[in-house]
Amino acid sequence: MSLSWFIFIIVVIIVLQSQIYRKWGLSGLNYTRSFNMPAVFEGEEVEMVEVIQNRKLLPIPWLRIEAKMSPYLKFTKQSDMAIKHDEFHKSFFSLMPFTGITRRHKILCLKRGFYQLSTAAMTCGDAFGAQELYRDFHVDSELLVYPELLPLEDIPFPSHSWMGEVTVRRWILEDPFLISGVREYKYGDPLNRINWKATARTGEFQVYQLDHTADPRILILLNIDLSESMWGAVTDMDIIERGISYSATIAQNAIENGIPVGFGSNAYEIDKKEQSIYVEPRPGQEQLSYIFEVLAKMVVARSCTFFTFLEDELEHDSSPMDILLLTAFVGERMEGQIQRLRGKGHSVDLIMLEPESQSEVAV
């Protein structure tokens, strides 16, 4: 066979396989990307799992998948890829017919937030590089990164025993309307607590056993305004991020001690733009998970002034509770609102948010 015929056959093969890959190259390909856990805390690692499947007879010589990643999700074992200001993460595959590949990547979560990986770009080609095909895939994977939890002693409470005092009050307050049973009379018990039927039955004085009230409740309020005259964007994110970590730590400690806790802020959640945050105080792990989720999705941007937010809180017809206000300042108008809250029976305590250097000097 002459050289011309050989070249002709090669060209025909290249063109033919190019047309085959153009028609069927991207068909039968399935790609998924997910995380092994729906939520982690800031500073923890999570595993991202990629699965690519070729569900057809045609092999794929090369396949490249690209997806935009946040710079705050750092690949721990990929030194050849720098993630800066939103970088594309690239994965390369070669797939035989009816095969699949699973790849696992360790990712360090550097900052709290709600991370959505919604699309990925898939590019494949034929064996000779004559054809290159492109397609977008919808992957719809999400990750919640909760705020960093801090040691309780690192939080500048208004007094060293603030949480302890609230916890003690949680268990020593008796509610005269909650009766859990009867017990023997003790010196000092009021006569109106005597259960006469039980006394007649046992022959000894018996009194009603009162249950403990569900109060106190804690409401954590975080002010993202840095000054009374602030207008526009928050200029010191570190102060507010520390306030968010304080809020998460206090909420966890309260729930662990059986105290109902709530959270509010004049910021907003990423999927509820320009709507201020308010979570009613409730007990239980489900409430704690919900508050963590709210804090993860919280955008450090103002939905309204804190003065407006507190005015709305003053309109709530709620029973007395312990309000813990985290703020970088206390203006004259805010001081007046605090006094009005106290006038409604609430206790209001302040945690001042200061730049890191100042708080270190204060210690």
Task: Name the amino acid, one letter, at 234.
Answer: V
∠ CA(204), CA(206), CA(209), 5° rounding? 160
List the domains of the chain with CATH numbers: 27-146 (2.60.40.10), 152-170+214-362 (3.40.50), 176-212 (no CATH)
**Dist. CA 152–CA 44, nearest whole Å:** 19
With a CB cutoff of 8 Å and minimum separation 6, the contacts of 125 are 21, 25, 61, 62, 131, 132, 133
Q: Within 13 Å, how many C-alpha atoms sit on residue 143's CB side?
A: 29
**Dist. CA 323–CA 261, nearest whole Å:** 10
| Per-residue model confidence (pLDDT) at position 239 | 95
Confidence band of 363 (pLDDT split at 50, 70, 90): very low
What is the pTM assigned to this prediction?
0.78
Structure tokens that stand for 293 in this block: 């989720």
| Per-residue model confidence (pLDDT) at position 81 | 44
Alpha helices in 25-130 (DSSP H): none
Q: Within 13 Å, how many C-alpha atoms sit on residue 59's CB side?
A: 6
Structure tokens that stand for 140 in this block: 């719809």
- What does the pLDDT look like over 198-236, one tens digit per residue? 788 888 888 766 554 546 789 999 999 998 877 777 888
Residue 172 has pLDDT above 80, yes or no: no
Residue 169 has pLDDT above 70, yes or no: no
**Dist. CA 63–CA 349, nearest whole Å:** 59
| Per-residue model confidence (pLDDT) at position 198 | 79
Beta strands (DSSP E) in 186-335 are: 206-212, 218-222, 261-269, 272-282, 298-299, 322-327
| Per-residue model confidence (pLDDT) at position 83 | 44
Collapsing DSSP states into helix, strand and coil, what is residue 301? coil
Collapsing DSSP states into helix, strand and coil, what is residue 69? strand
Per-residue pLDDT, averaged over 314-327, amounts to 87
